[in-house]
Amino acid sequence: MGLGYTHTDAISEPIRMPASLSPPLPLFLSLLLAMLLSSAVAADFPPVDQLPARPEFPDPLVMLDGTRVTTKEQWESKRKPELKALFQHYMYGRLPPAPTRQTYSELFRDEKALGGKATLSEVRITFEQPSLSHPIHVLFAVPNNVTKPPVFVGMNFCGNHTLLDDPRIHLPEVWCRNTCPGVVNERATDKGRGGQQDLWNIDLIIDRGYALACFYSGDVDPDTPDMNDGIGPAFYQPGQSTAASDDAGTIMLWAWGFHRVVDYVERGAGGAVDPNRIAVVGHSRNGKTALLAGAFDERIAVTIPLQSGCGGAAPSRTTDTRAESVRQINTSFPHWFDGNFKRFQDPLPSPSDANGKTVAPRREIINQFSQNTNRLPFDQHCLIALCAPRPVLLPNAEEDLWANPNGQLEMLKLATPVYRLLGSPGLADGATPAINKLIDSPLGYFLRPGKHAMTRPDWEIFLTYCDQHLKAATSGRPDKAATSGRPDKAATGGRGK
Ligand code: GTR
């Protein structure tokens, strides 16, 4: 691949069909089937107020109609597609299809970057069908002394130029949050260059023999309540001007962005990295996204959502008042999830009339999930289970109670039966969390001292975990043998409490 190359990827296909559908069908048939499968199920889903209230966590191995899942085949062909359809319908919105063509244009390339240790490049991905006016820029750092290294695909808060102080890195032209380094009037400036290098630690990633492919969330959809300023409208039906109740919310759109960057590292990067050893990583809202991306794309071998909290790896049915609730997240960030997630009814007490007779409560729709999280037909352990048997690490911070570290551990425990069904130990038996002790089972956990942030010690843990679950594998998906930041308080406007 030479300097300034451009080439086109004829088809992207992040959807993997259930094992029961092999031998592989022609691609267009597979896509059609995948769509029919999810829409057929989704069409049957009851309106939210008709879902049964269930305060307990739903069993990931029991279908919506009560059928118990006892085999791998049932999981792959029935329950997994059902859970994917449920998450898309009631929470995140539908994952948009992959574009039929995407083109990679290299903006610069330096084979002697980072003191000669790495090849650094930046690539612009543009799309056709749908034609999107939102190119994704990928900053790509690959160690020079490793052949086909494993790669982290990450999404950043503030633009690729904040990862390294390097004038060649493209400044986003799109919306940027004012609290990001160097941003003036919601636009990036040169002053932000390198402003988040301590979060991403590219030097450490390279020294440990890994590559990094990182992109800015705002390229895909700016983190604003406006659903029309990102890629969302490119997927609207003719005549549609606003998002439908199950159209993708911002987190799902960002997950789509992760998949496009996975396309690039898998097929567009000229074999520079090992496509069988892709880990995804993101912090906080970007961690919620990394988890969703991992759950919906089996090319991702290891998933690392850092301090992802509510809407990520933490339970929606939480009783911990220190943790963020669905009501709070829907109020602060209404654009992150789909319309159905916000349209749940509050259980209103039945009022009495003047004669003391009980009358039917008003059928008021309020614009949030609110206390009705117990109507959800899943909880976040089911999202983790969609990654099975691929490894998932949940790193947390002791003082970050808003992200609900204890609730996240509970989610790992409850996802474990699915891992065991698929032949992986999941969370190790008797795993007890302790500060600074990595639980390195395929469902992994880590709690460090301190606050909500992506730090160098966090990266040390990601790398150690990946050394075990990713780096050792030399061929095939590692999961098959064994069994894929938030900048700081200022940059994202505090913890939202
Ligand atoms: C908080 C939000 C969290 C988390 C965080 C972040 O304000 O309540 O869910 O996403 O922002 O992304 O930094």
What's the pLDDT tens digit per position in 38-93?
444 455 798 887 888 899 999 999 999 999 999 999 999 999 999 999 999 999 99
Q: How far is the CA of 405 from the centre of ligand 1 (A)?
A: 14
Radius of gyration of the chain (CA): 22
Q: How far is the CA of 283 from the centre of ligand 1 (A)?
A: 9
pLDDT recorded at residue 130: 84
Q: How far is the CA of 212 from the centre of ligand 1 (A)?
A: 24
Catalytic residue among 12, 284, 325, 484: 284
Using DSSP, how many helices (H) and how many strands (E) does the chain show? Answer: 16, 10
Residue to mutate (ligand 1; options 486, 488, 497; most atoms within 8 A of CB): 486
Q: Which atom of ligand 1 is nearest to the CA of 492?
A: 13
Q: Which atom of ligand 1 is nearest to the CA of 284?
A: 12
pLDDT recorded at residue 408: 98
For residue 284 and ligand 1, the question of a CB distance below 6 A is answered with yes
Say how many CA atoms lie within 13 Å of 221 toward its Cβ. Answer: 27
For residue 492 and ligand 1, the question of a CB distance below 6 A is answered with yes
Q: How far is the CA of 310 from the centre of ligand 1 (A)?
A: 8
Low-confidence ranges of the chain (pLDDT < 50): 1-3, 11-41, 345-348, 361-368, 474-497
For residue 471 and ligand 1, the question of a CB distance below 6 A is answered with no
> Which residues pair with residue 123 across a beta bridge?
106, 138
Rounded CA separation 118/244 (Å): 45
Rounded CA separation 454/98 (Å): 30
pLDDT recorded at residue 132: 84
Residue to mutate (ligand 1; options 307, 324, 454; most atoms within 8 A of CB): 324
Confirm whether 441 is a catalytic residue.
no
For residue 329 and ligand 1, the question of a CB distance below 6 A is answered with yes
Rounded CA separation 227/249 (Å): 8
Catalytic residue among 134, 137, 161, 452: 452
pLDDT recorded at residue 351: 59
| Nearest in space to 372 (alpha carbons), one of 404, 350, 398, 340 | 340
pLDDT recorded at residue 360: 56
Q: List pLDDT tens digits, range 305-314.
A: 999 999 999 9
For residue 309 and ligand 1, the question of a CB distance below 6 A is answered with yes
pLDDT recorded at residue 292: 99
Rounded CA separation 53/385 (Å): 22
Local structure of residue 290 (DSSP, 8 states): H
Rounded CA separation 203/478 (Å): 25
Q: Which atom of ligand 1 is nearest to the CA of 494?
A: 7
Confirm whether 352 is a catalytic residue.
no
Q: How far is the CA of 494 from the centre of ligand 1 (A)?
A: 8
For residue 324 and ligand 1, the question of a CB distance below 6 A is answered with yes
Q: How far is the CA of 399 from the centre of ligand 1 (A)?
A: 14
For residue 285 and ligand 1, the question of a CB distance below 6 A is answered with yes
Q: How far is CA 185 from the centre of its chain?
A: 28
Q: Which pair of structure tokens corresponds to residue 327?
A: 């009501």
Rounded CA separation 397/451 (Å): 6
Contacts of 116 (CB under 8 A, 6+ apart): 144
